[in-house]
Amino acid sequence: MSSVTEHTCCSDCQEFVSDDGDKCLQSNKERAKFISHTKGPHIFFDKLFHRRDTPNSNVLSSYEEATLESIRNWETTKGKRAVLCGVAYNKQKYKLKGTNYDVINMRELLGSQFCFPSSSIHILIEMDSHPHPTKRNIQEALKWLVKDNQPGDSLVFYFSGHGLRKPDFFEDELDGFNETICPVDFRTAGMITDNDINDTIVRPLKNGVKLHAIIDSCHSGTILDLQDVYSTKKKLWLDNSSPSGVYKGTSGGHAISISACEDNQLAADTSAFSDCGKQMEGAMTYTFKKALMEKPRVSYAGLLASMHKDILTAKEKGFSLRGLFHRQRLQEPVLSSSKVFDVNEPFVL
């Protein structure tokens, strides 16, 4: 029997999933074996991961042009600013029910707990009163987030929606996969990869600037491609540097990511925390907010521990997994950083 793990690809989300649900392709050699088993590999992967735009998809409507222009004209406030994205995928079969609620919770948390001015918090959701979370809009909003960043700035990027992964053939990822987030139009416009996110909001960070990314999606563990990942089991930082040697750090600032789960895990929506048992919300977002509300000066380590404990509780009540392959594996929140720091420091935005 071949030692190569069999992989399948979802026709909707284009995610590769191993039969055992956990193992990734561990090396370039193993990936090469997998490619050799496919028919017409170049055509195969082109179809899988390089969505061709539908006719006229590059031609923006007047409304889309106006929306992009309004994002470009957002005021670049000093100090604290945030971009919050919630993607529900309305009218699509992989619709999520709790993402708008997640964004509302995050906006309230930033305002009440961390004194972010309402004018410095910009929201992208599928409502006419806000820019929609299309690929172009998210990319433009992320550019705004780090534009003219200065020492003392505290920046936040929050995303609630689907996350996927696709094979990396450039020796850029330790596990052989690029992690992605899915805009509302990802089937035609494509996904936003960890490389894209790193280039846009990590590399430009100047000395004295701190960025926190809070990502509530599947496969989000290293979604910012940061070089250090904290192991809660070993109580130490692990090296996540790119095997290719490409620099993925900042321009002197500090980037921190808190993700819903490890790269090979699925995140969950759940109503387990709702008083009425009906309101769906991201398990990661709820437990994140709960930990900070109960103990405002909680440390990074304490935050992870509290989230893990509450997710275990919710697991017993029932999860609705965000992935299209419903593998029952408990999500583990992940902390990553552009540099090693003391996780016993208080979490502050």
- Structural domain boundaries enclosing 68: 63-263+332-337
Residue 136 belongs to some domain of the structure: yes
Question: Is 291 a domain residue?
Answer: no
**Domain-located, residue 19:** no
What is the rounded average pLDDT for all residues in the chain? 83
Q: Give the pLDDT confidence score for residue 321 in this predicted structure.
A: 61
- Relative to beta strand 16-18, strand 80-86 is unpaired
Instruction: Examine the pLDDT at 40 and tell me if it is beyond 60.
Output: no
Q: How far is CA 106 from CA 41, 302, 310, 313, in A?
A: 43, 19, 18, 21
What are 180-221's pLDDT values in tens digits? Answer: 999 999 999 999 999 999 999 999 999 999 999 999 999 999
pLDDT tier at 276, thresholds 50, 70, 90? low
Task: Judge if pTM exceeds 0.85.
Answer: no
Predicted pLDDT at 85: 98
Give the HSE-up count for residue 137: Cα atoms under 13 Å, Cβ half-sphere: 27
**Average pLDDT, integer, range 28-55:** 38
pLDDT score at 340 = 98
Q: Is residue 308 annotated as part of the catalytic site, yes or no? A: no
Q: Which of 13, 122, 132, 162 is catalytic?
A: 162
- On whether residue 254 sits in a domain, the answer given is yes
> Looking at residue 45, what is its pLDDT?
38
Q: Which of 23-32, 84-93, 113-122, 164-173 has the lowest mean pLDDT?
A: 23-32
The count of domains in the chain is 1
For residue range 3-16, what is the model confidence (pLDDT) as tens digits? 333 333 333 334 43
- Catalytic one of 218, 219, 254, 261: 218
Q: Is residue 273 part of a domain?
A: no
Q: Are 158 and 83 in contact (CB under 8 A)?
A: yes
Residue type (1 letter), 143:
K
Q: Does 42 qualify as catalytic in the annotation? A: no
Q: What is the pLDDT of residues 322-343, one digit of tens each?
A: 654 444 556 899 999 999 999 9
Mean pLDDT calculated for residue range 158-178 = 93
The confidence score (pLDDT) of residue 332 equals 93
Residue 116's domain is classified under what CATH number?
3.40.50.12660
Angstrom distance (rounded) from CA 268 to CA 315: 9
Q: Which 8-state DSSP code applies to residue 51?
A: P
Report if residue 49 sits inside a domain. Answer: no
Q: What is the DSSP letter of 346?
A: B
Above 70 in pLDDT, residue 54? no
Give the pLDDT of residue 319: 63
In a domain, 319, yes or no: no
Query: What is the β-pairing status of strands 210-216 and 154-160?
Result: parallel
State residue 322's pLDDT score: 67
349 three-state secondary structure = coil
Residue 206, domain member (yes or no): yes
Give residue 268's pLDDT band: very low, low, confident or very high (50, 70, 90).
confident
Residues, the chain: 349
Closest listed residue to residue 208, CA positions, set 255, 252, 142, 256: 252
